Structure 1
């Protein structure tokens, strides 16, 4: 048994956000973090590893520097990383991305007792589409929005969180599950784990590795092959500095009312 976790390196939205002329994010000029929901998926995988002694493999699609993110996950306890990277994959939308990652997972191999975990959605797109699309393309059952996961033999019992309650679902392996932040609290990497991270295996899959897979079609991957087209994208304008008024008397409130009236707010 092994657990495969898909993770994504995303822009740190608390810092600078830059956009290319074609509407895609200029990732090279932004600080990056591990997608938060994906960390919950990683923690779920590591918790099952602690319980069952299984192998955990992290998959990501991205530029070569994404190796650093995989090494960070290895320092947390992940056993192996798979980096799917190629210029031909750049600019892929969710449809193309799911095809590429599904091809990478299928090439690596999915066995009868394996589990695939993913975060609910990525903070740079917020679509929640890639995980379910991977399951669809690998012909696997899927459960989304998992708030609790329990394994019993070759079945998993998952509490699926909804807006107005929850749903308990049983599923047989192999399967895909997407995780929400309420599922757990991700662990920190350890000093010993950081030392061990660079001795763990990392596999790189390129376009040459995957080009013969049935899911890889040069006309439906990358920016040009993606069916979703970005009409426009821009960096939100920065807000100006606020104005502070001191005092709590009538004079201060009259001054505030005058400022708001001058701006035609009241």
Structure 2
């Protein structure tokens, strides 16, 4: 299972609860030719999780889910004694494998270890919710190495701001005046997706943007998104006409070849 999952990571990318004993730490796979570092772990419940830095692009991959035909999947995650939250994922060419919209914040949660519950809405054969319970080992080396390889911090205050936004893209009181409209890049891929976070400026422009997720990682979709950001604008709906307050915003760009 480990070898097949590493190959997947390198190339791609309620029922009774089940529990898994935690390993000592996560495994690490390094590929200098691909400029890749992969921290991964597999569990007896059938799930495998990996955090992958490949040539500067960071992704989180979850494999072993009940197959889905939906391109977008919502999973409810509960770390330790924290409150459950809904996380968004994109299905890959394998319908049982998904990549996270926000892999770095997710990695920072995983690295702490402890109990993780994953609830798949309607994931059971009879349509009931399917719940997995996993005991995660703290990762003081493997996940840290993958994050660091991509220049992602081990602690980031922007994570709390993302939690405040929730499933919406913008904080309350802000709206798009001109949403980013990227052009399809020159690439061999027929489709792709990107999730971006940025800070706002008083005149509604975006700055300090970070590509949180890019899939596929080498399709040029992230660069196309950043070019479109230069033309995007936000407006203050809480106080029309007033400057835009300093906030963290996120948005998703979906690419389909014309």
Q: TM-score, normalized by length of structure 1?
A: 0.24
By percentage of residues, which structure has more strand?
2
Q: Give 1 or 2 for the bigger CA radius of gyration.
A: 1
By percentage of residues, which structure has more helix?
1
Q: TM-score, normalized by length of structure 2?
A: 0.25
Higher RCO (CA 8 Å, separation ≥ 6 residues): 1
